[in-house]
Amino acid sequence: MNKTKNKNNVKGVIIGLWNRLSDGLEKVETKVQSMIKKGLRWLDNRRLEVGQRLSCTRGISTIEIILIIVVLIALIIIFRDRLMTVMNSIFDTITSESGSV
């Protein structure tokens, strides 16, 4: 009788532990599923942000190109004498050096 009682007690303890383990596993599974959903939402939000940044159409407009050309022309006008002096000396050097070759 004692053996039967011990077997029943052991069986009851094992069943109790199994039930507690099952409950714990269900809680862990629920928590993992929740974390996966949060992670997927986070990734989806990052994907949307990157898509919005890439779809932004920024570039050089016509006005910017015109302003760059105006600044270059202004610089040429301001430093015209110096540029002419440098260009003349370069061409003089090329002409004198080409005679020796």
Give me the tens of pLDDT residue by residue for the chain, a chain 101 residues long.
Answer: 556 666 667 778 788 888 888 888 888 888 888 888 888 888 888 888 887 777 766 667 888 889 999 999 999 899 988 888 988 899 888 888 877 66
Helices 80-100 and 62-78, interaxial angle, to 10°? Answer: 70
Can you give the pLDDT at residue 71?
95
Alpha-helical segments (H) within the chain: 2-55, 62-78, 80-100
Can you give the pLDDT at residue 97?
81
> 3-class DSSP state for residue 79?
coil
Can you give the pLDDT at residue 3?
61
The answer to whether 83 and 76 have CB atoms below 8 angstroms apart is yes
CA distance 87 to 73: 17
The two tokens of residue 95 are 């002409």
Total-model pTM = 0.39
Counting Cα atoms < 13 Å in the Cβ hemisphere of 89 gives 5
